[in-house]
Structure 1
């Protein structure tokens, strides 16, 4: 099911069953067991701490955020297949895939926008969710009363495009609920 999430100054499309369950399970298992997941230190409000999740970068270009410079690993075959499918749906090209592993409910991603300069003016971020379902939050940067939250399902695709990153921030908060491990794949285009 494809749903356009109607928010001002944003272009968001959510496709619930983007990947068939069998292929989604395969991609999750391969990445979960065969990826060299890393946990890097990050500075938050001047204090250094370990990121509350594990990461890896696949693709052709390095990527940097929050004073972390990630070097890419080759895109595994299952991600190449997934990328082709995403590029068809989004009518866009991607050259990196940032993978995040959320081991349990205590792993999270704080409020942020994907607005790094190397992503260009209005980047398209194609975000695939695999594994345990988690709640995703959005909030307008200046009109704080504008908020949205919804569950990201196994095998789903969330496309954030247009001015979304200029006006909105998003997060994947911690949860006390028992949740299965989750892998999030964000396909992006790094500009030269």
Structure 2
């Protein structure tokens, strides 16, 4: 029950973060953070940060930044899955897909992993994201081709089995190290 409450709280905070705008006042100027995905800059005007994808150097920097963020999430499974997907597809992305990718990269690691592997249903806003949908379809195709269904958790159920479940099923002790 506690994990469900934590997940619910995390989703609520994610929704709040999506709608919030950071405003601070400094020396009688409104200083706020404008955003395209997770690429931030501080400015005194209200114009959004636009990355010119027609400029080769700007596009290269953006691609490198997004590649780094996708490969260095701190969650090995996501580093591999998301990093390889981004590496394959980033060169073909337009502005809309770049923004969708930055939204995916802003998601919390445990939630993203559960949503990509089908352990939990993603929120509607995440489920409609075209980049998330493409990543999820690749992950599910890989799971279906490389892992038997009995080796995976049922949808909506956390994976809590241990490394030696087969031993316990064959009449071993109730705990893993017996």
Question: After TM superposition, is the score higher than 0.5?
Answer: no
> Going by fraction, where is helix more abundant, 1 or 2?
2
TM-score (normalizing by structure 1): 0.26
Larger relative contact order (CA 8 Å, sep ≥ 6): 1
Structure number, greater radius of gyration = 2
> Going by fraction, where is strand more abundant, 1 or 2?
1
